[in-house]
Amino acid sequence: MLEQPPWLAAAWAELGQREVRGSADNARIRALFREVGHPAILHDEVAWCAAFVGACLERGGLASTRSLMARSYLRWGDDVSAGRIGAVAVLSRGRDPAAGHVGFLMGETPTHVVLLGGNQGDAVSVAAYPKTRLLGLRWPAAAAAKSAGRKEAGTRAAGDALFDEALAHVLEMEGGYTDDPHDPGGPTNRGITLATYAAWQGVRLNAATRSGLKAELRRIGADVVRDIYFARYWSLAHCSEMAPALAFFHFDAAVNHGVTGAMRLLQRAVGTDVDGEIGPNTRAAIGRLSVEQCLERYAEVRRARYRALPHFWRFGRGWLRRVDTTLARARKVVRAGAGAQQATDQVQEKEMSSMNESVRMQEQSGPVQQQESTTKWWGQSITIWGAMITALSTVLPAIGPAFGVDITGDLVREAGEGIVLTVQAVGGLIGTLMTIYGRMRASTGLTQRSMQMKL
């Protein structure tokens, strides 16, 4: 069996994830935006095919473009002319030269390419697209592909600003090395207990190994600390699936109460079944509350938990201070969200402008195309036709006799006065609406054109 690239394995793991209809959102889709540097996007209706590809690449140990523009991947990696399973395929979308779609190549037929991708039918799915839409196939550059095979637990954390902020907070709260006999966690350094460190190193903790492991724990390196926190707490506690402020608070709880313990506390806070698993019911319960409500309830549940512990008499004041500090900092993350959303919108506008400029330059450097005229013949103007119909319907009966066009009283009586008035009114209304609509959509000037009429 051929071994699939790691980014493709990450993509298969999301198969079936789907947008949530209505005001709710799929937390796993929102997590894709955070993983590629767009934490302010909180809704799964935002086009997310590029976010899906970027998150999967980074989960596989590669750097993505971190752009939400599908066509940004035309400048990523190396071009591959032949189909290669797992290659990044970039497609056009409609007539917009800046729009596109991106996914992972799974196969091809004589007329279609088959992609595993996000936002395909509002879900992560496998779908076929005409080859006429294929703009390019890209593969990681040789150096990047080589590094992708390394299993480094902290790879994804490296570019995650929210994780960096949350980790700095936790390390400040945890402090340095301690070995308090009243602490049920035993020897701890930078918040990592001896048991956790032994498990991370794959060493059984017993009387023979305890002394050596304690010495290693005392001088534990920053890289190891980072890897442990990302793999054993941030990821296992599903922090990346939550709103940034809630993820910040929940991460601190996972470190202090254990991952399962923190998830149980969160479930109590949002009023759902307490089973220690973040599933659809828990996500729905979280979604029914505002982030501020979740934080307030979560903080109160943590305080109650601390007060129930037998060692509260010794550590309680510090525990409660930790909750208050974490809550205050999480609230700052909430307030920063609005500013981050504005910054994200500006980045997207710049990317769109840059993409349009690139397309314009490519068109100018290619074969000369027939330029569209900046003016149009008056006969193509909806505005003018609307004015003409209005005039014919309402003005002609009054001024027509001067030009030999006479709508006589006999004609009115013959046709029926009511019918003529109705026709005039309808014609006037249609003409007026055409005039207004034509004026609103007008984008080019008018030009004269000679015209002959035969009577």
Tens digit of each residue's pLDDT (9 = 90 or more) over 311-330? 898 888 999 999 999 999 99
Label residue 165 by pLDDT band (50, 70, 90).
very high
Tens of pLDDT, residues 415-428:
444 444 554 555 55
Give the other-Cβ count within 10 Å of 423's Cβ: 12
- pLDDT top residue among 231 and 3: 231
Judge whether residue 11 has pLDDT over 50: yes
Q: Name the residue with tokens 């035309």.
A: 74
Tens of pLDDT, residues 68-108:
899 989 988 888 877 788 999 999 998 888 889 999 999 88
Give the CA count within 13 Å in the CB-facing half-sphere of 70: 26
Structural domains in the chain?
6-148 (3.90.1720.10), 156-339 (1.20.141.10), 375-445 (no CATH)
The mean-pLDDT minimum among 149-163, 175-189, 210-224 falls in 149-163
Q: Cα 245–234–41 angle (5° rounding)?
A: 40
What pTM does this model have? 0.47
Tens of pLDDT, residues 360-385:
554 454 443 333 344 445 555 555 55
Burial string for 1-30 (b: 16+ CB within 10 Å, else e) reads: eeeebbbbebbeebeebebbeeeebbbbbb
Model pLDDT, residue 359: 45
Q: Cα 122–125–131 angle (5° rounding)?
A: 100
